Amino acid sequence: MTNKQAKMQVIRNMVNLRGKTEVIQKIPVKSDSVRLMIGALLAPLSAKQKLVISSRFGISGGKPQTLEAIGKTLGITRERVRQIESGALDNLQKSQKGLEANATISLINEIVAAKGGIVRADTLVREVASQHPENAKENGDKEKNQLIELVFPVAGLKKVKGNRELHDSWADKNFNSKKFQEVVDVVERFFEDNKKLHSGEDLVKKLEYTELLKKNPDIAPGQVLNFLEVSKKFDKNVFGNWGKAKWPLVRPRGVREKATLVLLNQKKPLHFREISRLIENFGLSRKKVHSQTVHNELIRDKRFVLVGRGTYALREWGYEEGTVKDVIVSLLKSAGGFLSKENIISGVLGKRKVKKATIAVNLADKNTFSKKADGYGLR
């Protein structure tokens, strides 16, 4: 008999849902507070209720199972499993709970209320789990998270199943879905009109002046950002800047988008080797980033300008192609044919990453420039 078959046999032996066998099912409990809390919480349930709940939430060492999967294992219908689960959760909500369970339930409700009545499932698990920082291995943390999620329906929250618009979430009884959708619509229009990434703080400041938030001062800044996290229409990039989820600078795939993000974050021209290193350091690529590949990609893209030996800047910063001499000529023409030496140097340094001595060498070209007492002009 395989391990899987043995496990199924144990389950069948533990509970005979059609018979009168009374069995006490013991949920495996380790020495951490979360497991002790869940063990005490489940104590009032019948054996069959414990079995269904433990299978649904994956708290007996496995993955969470569907109603259908549990039904097939136990030889009952999907609807019957749902009824057992519903009855068990109803009993848990009405039963007396220990101090730690009550404290955890209060914490859960406070978090959800503060965030506007709905929270993305993984976010809620993470925030509640942070209050139980036992030292555990990775698998232990995963099991602990599954245990914690069992408390959510006991706290009166309703599971909002993920779809094309939303991530898996939990909502309380005061959640206003209409207001949530209004906020999402306002933010979506803002991004479509603005077409720029924004930090959370900057985004909230700009949204404060929208008609919706003026009429609803009860919508806190943190709630707006939480609604964006619940919605699949928006996302943050690795630097914490918000935008539409489909934007390349939010979820960059190619080298060029990743290089753009790095330059925007560093706010200065960088050598292509440094860009390659930062793409890896910021976690923008799981694979090794070859610097020559970055160089080859950037030199062909008009969004980037080669401003020094191997050094690139974004064109939107005001940089232009050409030699240092070409830049000086462009500056003089723009200024009407004459500029002081100081203005020429500052102008070139604003468009090229070169040494001042290089600028002086180019100004010495008498065939192109004429030196005057207080500056330079064109021949």
Angle of helix 138-154 versus helix 99-114 axis, rounded to 10: 80
Distance from C-alpha of 332 to C-alpha of 342, rounded to nearest angstrom:
13
Two structure tokens written together for 301? 């893209």
Specify the CATH number of the domain 3-94: 1.10.10.10
pLDDT of residue 137: 45
Q: Count CB neighbours of 62 within 10 A.
A: 12
- Contact 76/11 with Cβ under 8 angstroms? no
Q: DSSP state, 196?
A: S
Nearest alpha-carbon partner for 118 in 164, 161, 160: 160
Distance from C-alpha of 226 to C-alpha of 115, rounded to nearest angstrom:
6
Q: Does domain 255-317 have CATH number 3.90.1150.10?
A: no
Two structure tokens written together for 324? 């240092």
Angle of helix 255-266 versus helix 291-299 axis, rounded to 10: 90
pTM of the model: 0.74
Phi first, then psi: give them for residue 117, nearest 5 degrees: 95, -5
Question: CB pairs under 8 A, 24+ apart, for 270-279?
Answer: 270/311, 270/312, 271/308, 271/310, 271/311, 271/312, 272/298, 272/310, 272/311, 272/312, 273/310, 275/312, 279/255
* The residue to which tokens 């030699």 are assigned: 323
> Which residues, 6 or more positions from 196, have their beta carbon under 8 angstroms from its beta carbon?
243
Two structure tokens written together for 141? 């943390």
pLDDT tens series, the chain, 379 aa: 444 543 443 344 344 333 333 323 333 433 367 778 888 888 888 888 988 988 888 876 678 889 999 999 888 999 999 999 999 999 888 887 777 788 889 999 999 999 999 999 999 999 998 876 554 444 446 767 778 888 999 999 999 999 999 999 999 999 999 999 999 999 999 999 999 999 999 999 888 877 887 888 888 888 999 999 999 999 999 999 999 999 999 999 999 999 999 999 999 999 999 999 999 999 999 999 999 999 999 999 999 999 888 999 999 998 877 788 988 998 999 898 899 999 999 988 888 878 899 899 999 998 999 998 889 999 8
Torsional sign, CA 357, 358, 360, 361? positive
pLDDT of residue 138: 43
* Terminal C-alpha separation, the chain: 95
Q: How far is CA 335 from CA 279, 340, 354, 364, 378, in A?
A: 39, 10, 21, 19, 11
Domain boundaries, the chain: 3-94, 99-171, 177-231, 255-317, 324-378
Specify the CATH number of the domain 99-171: 1.10.10
Residue 292: exposure state from Cβ atoms within 10 A (0-12, 13-18, ≥19): exposed
